[in-house]
């Protein structure tokens, strides 16, 4: 991996993973938000929507990664991290891969890059995620996350507010925030000796 002008270039073949600039945020935020909206409307999906403004903010905060097709710089995927409870917790959110590029390892690349970013910049933080996706459960497990209960992840109301646009939000409300369709997964740094490379 080499760092060039603030961007991190992955050594993949067809795709590159980059930390986007503020200029990139203007170019991609609308499209990313639309991709997440379309995925959230798919049958059996448990996906919260993310506004273009929210995506711009995460990019400007240097908390987001993009996957681009190397040859023509077509957008292929996106993901970001957020911190909660004064940095005690970090979550990865907004993961999306364009339908035509799925099954090529792009989500794996994006999640790995953000995981290493979180371990370097928030080394004491517990890293967690909520997902209904078997692929994401697989990726998280490979990174060292384990299944957790909702009580093990952040109690920050700001985080849970992000679930309000999910089609399954009524379930979360009915259970007083204890249960929903997403599997919670947690990486606790205290259970792992080594730091990110």
Ligand X SMILES: CC(C)(COP(=O)(O)OP(=O)(O)OC[C@H]1O[C@@H](n2cnc3c(N)ncnc32)[C@H](O)[C@@H]1OP(=O)(O)O)[C@@H](O)C(=O)NCCC(=O)NCCS
Sign of CA dihedral 187, 185, 116, 135: positive
Helix or strand or coil: residue 76? Answer: strand
What's the CA gap between 162 and 102, in Å, rounded? 25
Q: Among 96, 172, 180, 186, indicate the residue that binds ligand X (CB under 6 A).
A: 96
Q: Tell me which stretch binds ligand X (CB under 6 A): 93-101, 143-151, 155-163, 169-177.
A: 93-101
Q: Which C-beta is closer to ligand X: that of 83 or that of 133?
A: 133
Contact map string, positions 128 to 147, toward ligand X, x by CB under 6 A: ---x-xxxx-xx--------
Q: Smallest distance from the beta carbon of 5 to ligand X, in angstroms?
A: 26
The residue whose Cβ lies closest to ligand X is 134
- Name which of residues 32 to 61 contact ligand X (CB under 6 A): 39, 47
Q: Smallest distance from the beta carbon of 181 to ligand X, in angstroms?
A: 12
Q: Among 6, 87, 103, 158, indicate the residue that binds ligand X (CB under 6 A).
A: 103
Q: Which C-beta is closer to ligand X: that of 125 or that of 143?
A: 143
Q: For residue 127, what are the β-bridge partners?
A: 90, 187
> How far apart, in Å, are the Cα atoms of 106 and each of 77, 101, 135, 147?
7, 8, 11, 23
Q: Which C-beta is closer to ligand X: that of 5 or that of 100?
A: 100
Q: Smallest distance from the beta carbon of 182 to ligand X, in angstroms?
A: 8
Helices (H), the chain: 22-40, 52-60, 106-121, 134-143, 157-161, 169-174
- Work out whether 81 is an interface residue with ligand X (CB under 6 A): no
Q: Are strands 126-131 and 183-187 parallel, antiparallel or unpaired?
A: antiparallel
**DSSP secondary-structure letter at 100?**
G
Q: Tell me which stretch binds ligand X (CB under 6 A): 101-109, 120-128, 145-153, 156-164.
A: 101-109
Torsion of CA 67, 98, 82, 153, to 10 degrees: -130
């Amino acid at each position: 991996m080499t760092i060039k002008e603030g961007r991190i270039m992955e050594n993949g073949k067809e795709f590159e993973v980059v930390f986007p600039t503020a200029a990139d945020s203007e170019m991609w935020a609308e499209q990313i938000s639309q991709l997440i909206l379309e995925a959230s409307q798919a049958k059996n999906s448990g996906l919260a929507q993310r506004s273009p403004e929210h995506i711009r903010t995460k990019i400007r905060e240097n908390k987001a990664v993009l996957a681009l097709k190397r040859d023509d710089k077509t957008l292929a995927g996106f993901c970001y991290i957020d911190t909660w409870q004064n940095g005690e917790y970090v979550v990865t959110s907004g993961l999306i891969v364009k339908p035509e590029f799925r099954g090529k390892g792009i989500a794996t690349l994006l999640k790995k890059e953000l995981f290493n970013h979180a371990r370097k910049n928030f080394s004491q933080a517990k890293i967690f995620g909520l997902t209904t996706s078997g692929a994401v459960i697989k990726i998280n497990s490979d990174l060292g996350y384990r299944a957790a209960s909702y009580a093990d992840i952040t109690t920050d109301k700001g985080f849970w507010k992000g679930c309000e646009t999910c089609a399954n939000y009524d379930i979360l409300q009915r259970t007083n925030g204890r249960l929903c369709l997403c599997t919670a997964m947690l990486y606790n740094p205290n259970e792992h000796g080594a730091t990110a490379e």
